[in-house]
Structure 1
Amino acid sequence: MKSRLIKFLGVAAVILVLAGCGPSAHVETSRNANFDRYRTFAWAEKKDRRGRTGSSTMMENQVKSAISDRLQSRMGWQQVSRNPDVVLSYDVLVERGSRVESDPRYSWGGFRTFYNPYSRRFYNVYYPSMFMGYDNYEVPTKEGTITVTMVDTRSDETVMQGWATDEVNSRRISGREIDRIVDAIFRKWESGSKNNRYNERGRNGRANGRY
Structure 2
Amino acid sequence: MTRIAAVVLAGGRGERLGGVRKAGLKLWGRRLIDRTLANLSRHCAPVLVSTGRIDPALLQLPDDVVAIADLDLPIAGPLAGLLAAADWMGKEATAPDLLVSIAVDTPFVPDDFVPRLAAELPEGALAACATCGPAFYPTNAVWRRESLARLSARIGEQTLPRSLRAFLEEIGAHAVDWRPDADGDPFSNINTLANLIALSRRRASDD
Coarse TM-score class (shorter-chain normalised): under 0.3
Higher strand share: 1
Rg (Cα) greater in structure: 1
Query: Normalized against structure 2, the TM-score is what?
Result: 0.22
Query: Normalized against structure 1, the TM-score is what?
Result: 0.22
